[in-house]
Amino acid sequence: MALYITDECINCDVCEPECPNEAIYMGEEIYEINPDLCTECVGHYDEPQCVEVCPVDCIPKDPEHEENEDQLMVKYKKLTGE
């Protein structure tokens, strides 16, 4: 499952540089996550780095983009060319 950023985001800029897939970008008003690039850090880290650094806890799993760990690993391999 990809992650998404809720409207509780305070635009603190800490999540964007932590994303190894460059899935996080500035939207019209708050940061957003591209679900096609988000692997929840599977293949890179044990935990999603954006969730780890978010000071307002506004990055839950996206129920509209459900993926299991195997699917996230396939996405990771596709994105990294492995």
| Buried-exposed string 59-71: b where 16+ CB fall within 10 A, e elsewhere | bebbeeeebeeee
Q: What pLDDT does residue 52 have?
A: 97
Q: What pLDDT does residue 82 have?
A: 81
Q: Which two tokens stand for residue 52?
A: 């780890």
> For 15-32, how does the pLDDT look when each residue is reduced to its tens digit (9 = 90+)?
999 999 999 999 999 999
Domains in the chain with CATH codes? 16-80 (3.30.70.20)
Once rounded to an integer, what is the mean pLDDT over residues 6-12? 97
The mean of the pLDDT values for the chain is 96
Rounded to two decimals, what is the model's pTM? 0.92
pLDDT band at 49 (very low <50, low <70, confident <90, very high): very high
